[in-house]
């Protein structure tokens, strides 16, 4: 390998590490906001999400939303039926390519959905896009949670 190539490779690694650290910080902001939502406050989520018409979610209750207007609206609805919740991301893996990044891992925690305690343990994929000011989340996808679907069905049947 030529000395010039070696230096160039090292520069790319430094850039990637820095971008990965920025995405990790965005992820920390997302999970802090998600924990606030699980306790009724959705305001922090608006700050970490891109407000694009192309953002998407696929929630553990089985729904899919496209566009910030729908995504934000569903977070508001979800916050009304969840309480006393906390969730953490474990087994985090982040990959960055240019202005896009993804992370995969497992969300673990607990919350009350309509007063019923539910466990949170599912695989997750989050996608981030670098904006003018910061990395923003553009997609959040989890496994469907049968416990959450059941609790939501019971809640809807009682209303």
**What are the extents of the domains in the chain?**
3-157
β-partners of residue 103 are 94, 126
Pick the range with the lowest mean pLDDT from 5-14, 112-121, 144-153. Answer: 5-14
User: Per residue in 49-74, pLDDT tens?
Assistant: 999 999 999 999 888 999 999 999 99
For the whole model, what pTM was predicted?
Answer: 0.85
* Closest by Cα among 98, 105, 101, 104 to 128: 101
Domain covering 3-157, topology: Nuclear Transport Factor 2; Chain: A, (3.10.450)
Pairing of strands 82-97, 135-142: unpaired
pLDDT band with cut points at 50, 70 and 90 for residue 7:
very low
CA atoms of 17 and 45, how far apart (whole Å): 25
pLDDT band with cut points at 50, 70 and 90 for residue 39:
very high
CA atoms of 109 and 43, how far apart (whole Å): 21
Q: Read off the pLDDT of each residue in 92-113 and give the average, rounded to a whole number.
A: 96
Helix (H) or strand (E) holding 13: helix 3-37
Give me the percent of the chain exceeding a pLDDT of 70: 89
Q: Report, in angstroms and rounded to the nearest whole number, the Rg of the chain calculated over CA atoms.
A: 18
User: Residue 137 has what DSSP assignment?
Assistant: E
CA atoms of 113 and 105, how far apart (whole Å): 23
Q: Let me know how long the chain is.
A: 159
């Amino acid at each position: 390998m030529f000395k010039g190539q070696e230096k160039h490779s090292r520069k790319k690694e430094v850039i990637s590490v820095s971008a990965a650290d920025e995405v990790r910080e965005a992820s920390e902001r997302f999970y802090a906001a998600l924990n606030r939502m699980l306790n009724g406050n959705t305001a922090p989520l608006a700050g970490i999400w891109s407000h694009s018409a192309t953002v998407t979610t696929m929630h553990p209750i089985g729904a899919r939303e496209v566009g910030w207007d729908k995504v934000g609206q569903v977070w508001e609805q979800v916050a009304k039926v969840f309480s006393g919740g906390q969730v953490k991301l474990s087994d985090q893996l982040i990959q960055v390519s240019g202005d896009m990044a993804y992370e995969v891992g497992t969300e673990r925690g607990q919350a009350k959905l309509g007063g019923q305690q539910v466990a949170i343990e599912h695989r997750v994929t989050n996608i981030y896009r670098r904006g003018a000011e910061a990395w923003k989340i553009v997609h959040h996808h989890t496994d469907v949670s049968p416990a959450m679907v059941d609790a939501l069905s019971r809640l809807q049947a009682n209303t």
